[in-house]
Structure 1
Amino acid sequence: MRLLSFVTRSGQAGYGAQLDEHQVAHLSALLGHRYPDLKSLIGGGLDEADAVLRLAPRLSTHEIHLLPVVPNPGKIICVGLNYEAHRLETGRPVEQHPSIFTRFAASQVAAGDPIIRPTVSTKLDYEGELAVVIGRPGRYISAEQAFEHVAGYSCYNDGSVRDWQNHSHQFTPGKNFVGTGAFGPALVTRDEVADITAQTLTTRLNGQVMQQTLISDMIFSIPQIIAYVSSFTPLEAGDVIATGTPGGVGAKRDPKVWMKPGDVVEVEITQVGLLRNPIVDEQA
């Protein structure tokens, strides 16, 4: 299934399964009393969602406004420097463990919504990434069992305000400006993707390819990341892991490339989806 979080024209938050480019099965109309949001559904109701899929009312895609795939994750864990080409372009040393930082849920926007360039900086950069969404909670998860805890995948743009990111050795300020983390359009359940490592991640800015890599080029694999993260914090259903960006970021180009109002940025992952967002300036 390709699962969406959305708001209807009447202002009601819900979730559903994308049937095609025009229709969505309104799963929360049938299951919302038991699973009030997509986070709770993926934590225990995916089998029920599959069972009622044909019975769910249909909504036109024109009747809904997308939300970030999981609007209310308990945790957004981000992995830095997880592709060799990106590590090399930053000049950072080889590390024995993943570089981890966090993003706040309030910094996220949905597919189609604008990514916001803040008033305090013009150095807004793109970072196309694969997002892994946890479905089954766990602590001290072994790498061998890690995929059993994965609900599915989505596209992520870990938009970064580079000068604020580089104020110190801590990435947090530059990674948490309002409206800079794009997430969507859908959660593609794990069974829909034969081999996630065989998929290609591409980031385009105004139609020009800026980043492109195989997911298999990660330095730390998805199982390694899950094993490492679950060792220091319990993973819960709906938690999101943004698994890192490949080489080609704007900050390391010559000349540097910053996203500006009027631009359109796309993150596409084969068998997962296409995340497209315009860029606008923050309103003072």
Structure 2
Amino acid sequence: MERRKFLRNLGISGSALTLATGAVMPSFARNEEFAEPTFKMDFAPHFGMFRNSAPDGIVDQLNFMADQGFRSLEDNGMLGRSVEEQTLIAKTMESLGMRMGVFVVDGGDNWKVSLTSGKQEFMDHFLDTCRKSVEVAKRVNATWMTVVPGYFERNLPIGVQTGNVIEAYKRAAEIFEPHGLVMVMEPLSDNPDLFLRHADQSYMICKAVDSPACKILYDIYHMQRNEGNLIATMQKTWDEIAYIQIGDNPGRKEPGTGEINYQNVFKFIHEKGFKGICGMEHGNANPGVEGEKALIEAYRKVDIS
């Protein structure tokens, strides 16, 4: 019997896997007898991606992910979870031998609260959120946290906006670096008003900040939309890339549903010696259990041989 079915038969909810005393019940190690082969690339799903296959909450989903051969998790909303839930996730992942990917340094609507403006109120709020993120990162054994600088400030020259972002990230790096933590800035394609959109722009900011705590999150979906030429661009900026995210284009679904040749992209990443996490930050192309099976098979197809 698979572990998640065992838990379900006991009537234990994954979101409340606690004893009557309130102590966290130990999770189970990955059951190799029932497990699928482990992926060679370190792909990281997120909660909700397998909600139909593992419907009994976060522990059930983590157990399912481990059984399917995934070795990591990313959870953008980790900062907003309760301490109890963060602790439960961390303990379960530890027992499964999984590691934590990114969560977002999110101080609210951080697209609109822009560091490009140079306003002290935005700087103070950002740095306060960074300090809170340190405590959460320690609790859940995370290393990387996503940051975005926000919108263009239309009344300021681009160089001044860039300088304001560099200053903010220097201050944030002073918070993260002593703890061995890394903020990864993510160029985005969602909105043309967003300041950070390109890999070379992110590379320049990293070089200016000059800290191991400030690197690039290279989201392949966003970069395909904004500039394409993925492998050549990654090659040029490689020494500042610390984290990678996945999504095909168009549609932002699993590999094989769009135009990106993920087999070639992953071959390049592997040959570069990348040992980090590739976060599966996309939706499912098809609904239900069958859609989730198809998603897993899509990753089997593009995983390195």
Instruction: Provide TM-score, normalisation by structure 1.
Output: 0.29
**Higher fraction of helix:** 2
**Higher fraction of strand:** 1
Instruction: Provide TM-score, normalisation by structure 2.
Output: 0.28
Structure number with larger C-alpha Rg:
2
